[in-house]
């Protein structure tokens, strides 16, 4: 028997898997409820869908000044603006949006929506199913095409017949390209950034390993985890794996090397721990598994006679751009798209790897201005 009680404080964990829930402060979100049923590409059905979105600027008569910005895997509708109630982080491309900025809100109407299957207000695995319980493992598989179909319904509701531009990087680039291929008459301009036309074995391997980390957490419970911390340990491991692919080896080595902190951790391990904790506090593990599944499934040429035939449908004025140090979506993937569309490849110089598409705001802003002719 232990004679002395262990009184060390337990490590902090968030009180539940992260993500926005009904009853939380809405922040700057607006909501659109789409009456169902929504029939999905893989055969599933959702009886109804709620879409969370945000807007900046004023829609012109006829809707010709509307721009759709697509977020990446763990992004959300909060493209611009400060952190605050309902928004755990500041806008993820904040420096691009505002009067006089690349997305000039004095003349443009900018829209950003949380993706179908997400966890920041749009229907996803953590949302309530018709029986009142979270969808959890019952949530059907969704594809990039399904996500764009929901965004098209949002555009209809907003009165946008044709986007002046659709912009996106990484997972957002997939949806932007799907828009331009599936609905060419509704896309005037396209910015395709740090993404690919189809998932590669390397990307699928990395993302299935992240999914395995979440599913191996005992709290995962087959995707039907109860209220409480949930599988945040597995999500944290998934985030550590992902973050290593988001940054370049050169940057990590220059920042951290083999330095060891006073607490005995390698500095780079502490950095990854920090990002794991941040994500667990704001993102739902079920959405992470579902959305990485959508990314693994991505192939713009499926059902369209291949990638080249699919890209031949694009009529939008297009800017294709790569980050030179990106090891997750290397520039060769963007070069393939640029060559098929007959446009030059723009290259963003950055030491930050894949995350350069988020960090190098000035360079991305120049690409946006080029696309919009501003």
pLDDT of residue 9: 36
Q: Is the domain of 284 the same as that of 307?
A: no
For range 14-43, the mean pLDDT: 87
Greatest extent of the chain over all pairs of C-alpha atoms, in Å:
77
Q: Is the domain of 39 the same as that of 180?
A: yes
**Pick the catalytic residue: 248, 326, 350, 355?**
326
273 annotated active-site: no
pLDDT of residue 36: 81
pLDDT at 231 over 50: yes
Q: Is the domain of 42 the same as that of 184?
A: yes
pLDDT of residue 22: 87
Q: Is the domain of 315 the same as that of 234?
A: no
Q: Is the domain of 90 the same as that of 164?
A: yes
Q: Which domain holds residue 135?
A: 30-200+299-372
Q: Is the domain of 311 the same as that of 354?
A: yes
Q: Among 7-11, 19-23, 306-310, where is mean pLDDT lowest? A: 7-11
DSSP letter for 149, please.
Answer: H
Structure-block tokens of residue 55: 């807007």
Measured over the CA atoms of residue 246, residue 249, residue 251 and residue 252, the dihedral's sign is: positive
pLDDT of residue 10: 37
325 annotated active-site: no
Residues 6 or more apart whose Cβ sits within 8 Å of residue 29: 20, 52, 53, 54, 77, 86, 114, 120, 121
Beta strands at 103-104 and 97-98: parallel, antiparallel or unpaired: parallel
Rg of the chain (C-alpha set): 21
Query: Would you say how long the chain is, in residues?
Result: 374
What backbone phi and psi angles, to 5 degrees, belong to 5?
A: -75, 135
Q: What is the mean pLDDT of the chain?
A: 94
For range 149-174, the mean pLDDT: 98
Q: Is the domain of 180 the same as that of 135?
A: yes
Q: Is the domain of 234 the same as that of 141?
A: no
Q: Among 18-22, 114-118, 280-284, 307-311, where is mean pLDDT lowest? A: 18-22
**Pick the catalytic residue: 87, 104, 354, 355?**
354
- pLDDT band for 14, please (50, 70, 90 cuts): very low
Smallest Cα–Cα separation from 155: which of 182, 128, 174, 130? Answer: 182
Given the structure tokens 């598989």, which residue do they identify? 141
Q: Is the domain of 182 the same as that of 226?
A: no
For range 335-343, the mean pLDDT: 98
**pLDDT tens readout for residues 166-185:** 999 999 999 999 999 999 99
pTM as predicted: 0.94
pLDDT of residue 374: 64
**pLDDT tens readout for residues 245-281:** 999 999 999 999 999 999 999 999 999 999 999 999 9
Number of domains the chain contains: 2
Q: Among the three residues 224, 259, 294, which one is the final residue of a domain in this structure?
A: 294
- pLDDT band for 18, please (50, 70, 90 cuts): confident
Q: Between 142 and 61, whose confidence is greater?
A: 142
DSSP letter for 141, please.
Answer: P
pLDDT of residue 233: 95
pLDDT of residue 45: 96
Q: Is the domain of 210 the same as that of 112?
A: no
Q: Is the domain of 221 the same as that of 321?
A: no
pLDDT at 237 over 80: yes
pLDDT at 84 over 50: yes
Q: What is the CATH number of the domain that holds 91?
A: 3.40.50.1820
In a domain, 22, yes or no: no
**pLDDT tens readout for residues 106-128:** 999 999 999 999 999 999 999 99
Structure-block tokens of residue 131: 């029986």
326 annotated active-site: yes
**pLDDT tens readout for residues 192-229:** 999 999 999 999 999 999 999 999 999 999 999 987 77
**Pick the catalytic residue: 170, 195, 294, 350?**
170
pLDDT of residue 12: 33
In a domain, 2, yes or no: no
Q: Is the domain of 215 the same as that of 193?
A: no
């Amino acid at each position: 028997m232990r004679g002395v009680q262990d009184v060390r404080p337990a490590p902090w964990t968030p009180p539940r898997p992260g993500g926005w829930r009904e009853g939380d402060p809405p922040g700057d979100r607006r909501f659109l409820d789409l009456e169902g049923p929504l029939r999905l590409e893989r055969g599933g059905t959702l009886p109804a869908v709620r879409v969370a979105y945000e807007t900046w600027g004023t829609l012109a008569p006829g809707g010709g000044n509307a721009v759709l910005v697509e977020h990446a895997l763990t992004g959300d509708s909060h493209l611009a603006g400060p952190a605050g109630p309902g928004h755990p982080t500041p806008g993820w491309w904040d420096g691009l949006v505002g009067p006089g900025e690349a997305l000039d809100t004095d003349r443009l109407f900018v829209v950003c929506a949380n993706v179908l299957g997400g966890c920041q207000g749009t229907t996803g695995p953590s949302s309530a199913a018709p029986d009142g319980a979270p969808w959890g493992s019952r949530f059907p598989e969704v594809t990039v095409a399904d996500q764009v179909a929901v965004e098209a319904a949002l555009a209809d509701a907003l009165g946008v017949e044709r986007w002046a531009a659709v912009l996106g990087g990484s997972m957002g680039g997939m949806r932007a390209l799907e828009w331009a291929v599936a609905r060419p008459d509704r896309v005037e301009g396209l910015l395709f950034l740090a993404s690919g036309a189809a998932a590669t074995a390397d990307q699928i391997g990395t993302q299935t390993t992240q999914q395995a980390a979440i599913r191996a957490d005992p709290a995962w419970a087959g995707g039907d985890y109860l209220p409480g911390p949930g599988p945040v340990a597995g999500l944290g491991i998934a985030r550590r794996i992902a973050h290593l692919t988001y940054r370049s080896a050169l940057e990590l080595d220059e920042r951290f090397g083999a330095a060891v902190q006073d607490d005995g951790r390698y500095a780079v391990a502490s950095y990854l721990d920090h990002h794991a904790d941040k994500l667990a506090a704001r993102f739902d593990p079920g959405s992470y598994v579902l959305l990485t599944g959508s990314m693994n499934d991505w192939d713009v040429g499926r059902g369209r006679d291949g990638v080249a035939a699919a890209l031949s449908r694009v009529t939008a004025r297009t800017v294709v751009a790569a980050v030179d140090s990106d090891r997750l979506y290397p520039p060769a993937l963007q070069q393939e798209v640029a060559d098929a569309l007959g446009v030059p490849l723009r290259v963003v110089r950055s030491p930050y790897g894949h995350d350069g598409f988020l960090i190098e705001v000035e360079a991305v802003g120049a690409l946006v201005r080029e696309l919009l002719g501003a």
